Every structure is written in structure tokens, then in C-alpha cells.
Amino acid sequence: MKEIKEIEPWGVNIPFIFLAMIYWALGSLSLPLNLPFHPYFMLLGAYALYFGMIQRLFFPAKNYLALHIASLILLAIPIQYFQIIASVVLTITEVWALKDLKMYGYNTKKLPINALVLSSPFSSIIAWVFYPNYWLLITPLLLYILGVNVGVFSVNLRTKPVFGLHQLPIFLIIILSYFFPILFPFIGVVYFLTIYRKTFTFKSITGISSLLSLIVIPLLSLYFGDFVHAFTLGIMSNLFFSCITYSTSRYNYNKVVISILLSDLAYILRFFYFEISGIFWIVAVIYFLYLIKDNFYLTSIKLGLSMRFIRMQKENRGSP
């Protein structure tokens, strides 16, 4: 009988969050400085969050540390070719981690397959090969954030936990939206119809607000005509805020609604008061960082746990 190894995680997502903030700061500064780097740096920031979270949630073990660091370094070099290599490294990490599942005692035949998430590293390679097609770069991010939030919505809103072939409608609308952008505004609608079931509940204000944002903001883009920012402000930012906070600082999850509302407001205001609209998104990001601040300690990064959870564990051990 093979020895079952224990997974030793670490806070791989935290360095990537720091990198994302640097990229987003550079992207934000590009606007008042009239530099042409705004979309590039903003998407690089989104990819940094994506790289960090997929590794944190799906392959956080320390035996992949070399690949984690390699992808971080490569992603930190803002040149297309390094992003391609970073995506290749991420894909290698995923394949290696999937092969290791049996070693950690998992029955691979019984595990739910999140096809959306698992397909995103491969699509990331393709997207970066064809840079500067910014619309294509959105596709891997959509695959990941819509896939990973299936679980978040299922827990908080009691929606259907769709996996494998049941994710096909979501997968198709994402792919078709690339070829036919007019379909993009309906991504949230298709997503909701796919995950909806009769047990649906309104008990989580953050869950409801993030789901509504996913539905409403893309639909509004039919009127405003800006699909890219409907994605970045209405889908990407809000679902990252929600997912990251839920997975790292669950006790603050229902406070994420503030960041979600601010990000949505930033999208709407950009068509009326463009000069100040970005401030709302910046505040949303800062508040999000505040909500997950317990993960920024060295001990937290080492153990892959929020300091609040670490303190609770110590208190429980010390109690009679």
C-alpha cells in the first residue's frame, strides 16, 4: 500500500497579490500621465491575481514551490514572451498536481472536475501567444473566475455546484463571446441559469451582490457599449474580491459587498463623470486589501493561513 502524503500548503497567492497591486498602480498611473500602458498593466494585474489564486486553491503544496516562484518571476517581467512562459509553467504545475492527486489519497474517479478552472492555464498560453489581442486575454480569466465561483455561490447561495460537462453552457458562452462579442452581455444570465436551483437563498449579501453584478453590469454594457470595462469592473474585480476573501478571510466575506458596490459604481460613473469614476474602484481595491490584511504576515504566508485562523488554532490548543 502506497504511503499517503500530507499536503503542506503555503500562502502562494500573497506574493501574486502584491504583484497585482503593483501592476494595477502602474496601470492607473498611466491614465493621468497619458501613457499607453493602462490596458496592458491592468490585465497583467488581473493575471497576477489569477495565477496566485489558482495555485493557492488547486495546487498550493510546497513541493511545487520552485514552479510557484518561477511563474511569479516570469509574470513580474511585463513582456509578452515571459507571460507565455509563465503560462506554460502554470500549466506544468497543474498537470503535475493532477498526477499527484493519488499520492495525497484522492480518488481521481470520484473527484468533481472543474473543467472551467482546469482549462484556464492552457487557454492562457494561447491568449498570450496572440497578444495584443486584449479581448482574447479576457477568456482565460473568465474561465477561471466563473469556474472557481461555482463553489463560492454554491456554499453561500445554495446554487447548483456544476462540474464537468454540466459546465458546458458556461464554457460555450465564454468561447462564443470571443468570436461574437455581442454575446458577452449575456454571460451572467447564462451563468445564473446554469447554476440556479430551487434551494437558492438570499441570505448572503455579498453572494447576491456579486451574482447581481455578474448579471447586471454586462447587460448594461449593451447600452454603454463598453464590454471590456464591464468585464474588469463588473465581473473580474468583484468575483476576485469575493473569491479571495472567502477563501482566505471567510469571516470578512459579507463585508465584500462594499467593494462590489464601489466597483459597479465605478463602471456606471465612467460614462458620466470619468475623471472621478476610477477613485471608486481604487477605494474598492483598498478596502478589499483591508479585508484580507490578516494574510499579509510572514507566518501567514509560510503556513497559508490567515493570522486570525492561526491565533484561533493556538487558543483552541491552549483551552482545556
- 6 belongs to a structural domain: no
Give, as one character, the DSSP assignment of residue 9: B
Average pLDDT for the chain: 94
Instruction: Calculate what percentage of the chain has a pLDDT beyond 70.
Output: 97
- 3 belongs to a structural domain: no
Tell me the residue range of the domain where 294 lies: 13-318
Using the predicted structure, report yes or no on whether residue 320 has a pLDDT greater than 70: no
- 29 belongs to a structural domain: yes
- 4 belongs to a structural domain: no
- 1 belongs to a structural domain: no
Distance CA(288)–CA(306), nearest Å, equals 15
Distances (CA, A) of 40 to 27, 203, 211: 7, 38, 27
Average pLDDT over residues 199-217: 96
In sequence order, which ranges of the chain are alpha helices (DSSP H)?
13-30, 38-58, 65-75, 80-99, 115-129, 134-157, 168-179, 187-195, 205-224, 227-229, 237-248, 257-269, 274-291, 298-303, 307-318
- 141 belongs to a structural domain: yes
- 280 belongs to a structural domain: yes
| Confidence bin at 246 (pLDDT 50/70/90) | very high
Average pLDDT over residues 257-269: 98
Q: What is the per-residue pLDDT across 80-95, written as a single tens digit (0 to 9) for each?
A: 999 999 999 999 999 9
Higher pLDDT, 311 or 261: 261
CA torsion angle 31 37 38 39 (round to 10) = 150
| Confidence bin at 316 (pLDDT 50/70/90) | confident
Structural domain count of the chain? 1
- What's the pLDDT score for residue 5? 67
Using the predicted structure, report yes or no on whether residue 3 has a pLDDT greater than 70: no
Distance CA(142)–CA(190), nearest Å, equals 13
- 277 belongs to a structural domain: yes
Cα 274–chain centre separation: 26
Q: What is the per-residue pLDDT across 141-172, written as a single tens digit (0 to 9) for each?
A: 999 999 999 999 999 999 999 999 999 999 99
